[in-house]
Amino acid sequence: MSNRTESRTTSKPDFRIADVVADLTRGGMPLRFEAYDGSAAGPADAEIRLELVNQRGLQYLVTAPGDLGLARAYVSGDLVVHGGHPGNPYEVMQKLKDHTKFRAPSASELVTILRGLGISNLKPPPPPPQEHLPRWRRLMEGMRHTLTRDAEAIHHHYDISNAFYRHVLGPSMAYTCAVYPDASATLEEAQREKFDLVARKLDLQPGQRLLDVGCGWGGMVLHAAKEYGVKAVGVTLSQQQASWAKEAIDAAGLADLAEVRHLDYRDVLETDFDAISSIGMTEHIGVRNYPSYFGFLRDHLRPEGRLLNHCITRHDNRPATTGAFIDRYVFPDGELTGSGRIITEMQDAGLEVMHSENIRLHYALTLRDWNRNLVENWDACVEEVGIGTARVWGLYMAACRVGFERNEVQLHQVLGVRTGDDGADGFALRPTW
């Protein structure tokens, strides 16, 4: 049965769904909101319309107020955006962020709303299949960031489809913030510049040994081997990533220099690396595990060996949990903190921090280009992973782009070194990169 033909008798005849939305909105509504009961709110001539098409969508909104309920309704197709593309709902996210403020209802208003909506709408429907278990259920099943749990979390996000990622990320298969040398740079140029900036900060030289933890599809490993003559080893918990990387290494004729292993970084046995890169890895390991993480990396460097940590950060260092949508649909068990905490933990692990750089606006540009790729390859992406998963990715990337633009999240590269016993760090007097 079509979503639009479901029952329209789920709320009382004199209680209009859109009126609730309008009553709880402060500062005016920049979008048109229309509900299946025939009610509407917001300007009739708005370029973008949100349409709630059935009772299930209302139940999602009522039983999980906020980003989780909206995401469930949107991913399921129960909340439809008109005037945009599901692969890039950026304008919707931007307008909601700019103009719409929802106030909390008073106790009496809440009772009236619940009575008007009807008791049937207080029962939550099953969540979309793309949704991961809630955090409390995962905690009941075991501690976060064990080898098994980390492998499951990485599998949830990264083992979707290499073909899908190729459509979205482009030929580089780089799923981390790019560095745009100028505003006209393409995504591929910017991803190459990111890898090269990391290489320059690490001062890679021919014959050196590099460990890339959380190496993804092997972009840094390939770049270091090809451009710098470095013997590079990458490790990833994703089997699909490791398989792709091996094929790319073989195709490039770099098997004598580059290697990617399907392995937890904690199982790397070699030591005395000249350099270690950690690009988009720290978000997955858990803040409480920073001491052991940075301690492990420090112990695997030779004296004067360098570590470059590249990761998403918060705009402050206060404890905070990841939003429900990101935690359930995108990065289960993911955690963020500020660059101050990153630097502190690196220093406490015995690393001398030499440089920190915030490139958050580059991530907004990266997400813009990923969204564009998703739109351009929408039919192929839907065929590969399904319409629900494709909607998740469009929503996630557009929302994150707004977050980076508004300085709610940042991206820091922090460069450290294992200083020798005599205090030597191997750096020139001024930065060389």
Write out pLDDT tens, residues 32-62.
Answer: 999 999 999 999 999 999 999 999 999 998 8
Q: Name which of 411, 227, 253, 230 is nearest 336 in CA terms.
A: 411
State the DSSP code for 9.
Answer: -
Secondary structure element (H or E) that encloses residue 410, with its range: strand 409-417
Residue with the two structure tokens 């720290």: 282
Intervals of the chain under pLDDT 50: 1-13, 156
Tell me, what's the pLDDT at 146?
Answer: 58
Look up residue 49 and give its two tokens.
């319309």
Which position has the token pair 């979309």?
A: 128
Residue 237 CA to residue 392 CA, distance in Å, equals 22
138 three-class SS: helix
pTM flag (> 0.85): yes
Instruction: Check residue 10 and give its pLDDT.
Output: 47
Does residue 224 contact residue 196 with C-beta atoms inside 8 Å? Answer: no
Identify the pLDDT of residue 154.
Answer: 54
pLDDT of residue 16: 87
Q: What does DSSP assign to residue 288? A: G
Reading the block at residue 199, the tokens are 């290489």
Q: Which of 96, 94, 114 is nearest to 33 (CA)?
A: 96
Nearest to 158 by CA among 247, 258, 236: 236
Burial of residue 5 (CB within 10 Å: 0-12, 13-18, 19+) is exposed
State residue 397 phi and psi, 5-degree precision: -70, -40
- Characterize 196-227 residue by residue with b for buried, 16 or more Cβ atoms within 10 angstroms of its Cβ, and e for exposed: bbbbebbbbeeebbbbbbbbbbbbbbbbbbbe
pLDDT value at position 104? 61
- Spatial distance between the Cα atoms of 325 and 116, rounded to a whole number of angstroms: 27
pLDDT digits 0-9 by tens, 60-101? 988 887 788 889 999 999 999 998 899 999 999 988 877 555
Closest of 43, 49, 47 to residue 22, by C-alpha: 43
Q: What's the pLDDT score for residue 268? A: 97
pLDDT for residue 142: 54
* CB distance 203 to 432 below 8 Å: yes
- pLDDT for 151 equals 53
Per-residue pLDDT at 7:
40
What is the C-alpha to C-alpha distance for residues 48 and 25, in angstroms, rounded to an integer?
Answer: 17
Q: How far is CA 430 from CA 19, 199, 228, 426, 427, in A?
A: 62, 17, 22, 11, 8
Degrees to nearest 5, angle at CA 266 with 284 and 153: 30
* Paired residues of 360 in beta bridges: none
Domains in the chain (CATH in brackets) are 3-122 (no CATH), 149-417 (3.40.50.150)
